[in-house]
A and B are shown apart, each in its own frame.
Chain A
Amino acid sequence: QKEVEQNSGPLSVPEGAIASLNCTYSDRVSQSFFWYRQYSGKSPELIMSIYSNGDKEDGRFTAQLNKASQYVSLLIRDSQPSDSATYLCAVLTYGNNRLAFGKGNQVVVIP
């Protein structure tokens, strides 16, 4: 089983709708969770970090963490065309200073 999985194919959402992205991870001792946004041809940009169970909101972004079920999700409310990008999930495991990245989900916001 891969460490971090983002299984959904490209996600198309109409402008103003909610985009929902999911990520599962295999290591139960994972401690820190991150979402990065990557525009085509650019480097990843950190947009959310979450460390404890529950929801964390930052502007139009909400990260949700459920350690018992080993998943972390990202919601983008009121999606804008500028949100069109690939979103990478990353997980840090306790005692390991390396991030494990998922392969990313592409989001396309349709005006």
Chain B
Amino acid sequence: DVKVTQSSRYLVKRTGEKVFLECVQDMDHENMFWYRQDPGLGLRLIYFSYDVKMKEKGDIPEGYSVSREKKERFSLILESASTNQTSMYLCASSPPSGTSDEQYFGPGTRLTVT
């Protein structure tokens, strides 16, 4: 079974703090993704990565950055957390395009910025 893990289920941070969200997958997947999910807005893609040290902006990259130093790990960084970044953050991974396109999600991190 594919396993995607995220470093925290719940996180509370203060405005202006730098926040790191970690995601690890154990299936040797090339592709990894960060989404946020908000009521009424659905899933929105923040950043994704096709390979180590590769990154692509998604639909809402502002205020976020990412790091992928190892194939199995994809980190989302909030440089200076703001209250409008309070959300559920979901990491996902998938095999290379052309094999299976199925994305598998981690359990999510519910971030509250106060």
Residues of A within 8 A of B (CB): 31-32, 34, 36, 42-46, 49, 88, 90, 92, 97-99, 101-104
Contact = CB atoms under 8 A, between A and B. Distances in A.
B31 interface: yes
Contact of B103 (A42, A46, A102, A103): A46
B50 interface: yes
A interface SS class:
strand
Interface string B13-31: 0000000000000000001
A99 B43 CA distance: 10
B102 interface: yes
B97 A97 contact: yes
A46 B108 contact: no
Contacts of A102: 42
B42 A32 contact: no
B42 A99 contact: no
Interface string B74-92: 0000000000000000100
Contact of A103 (B42, B97, B107): B42
A25 B39 CA distance: 21
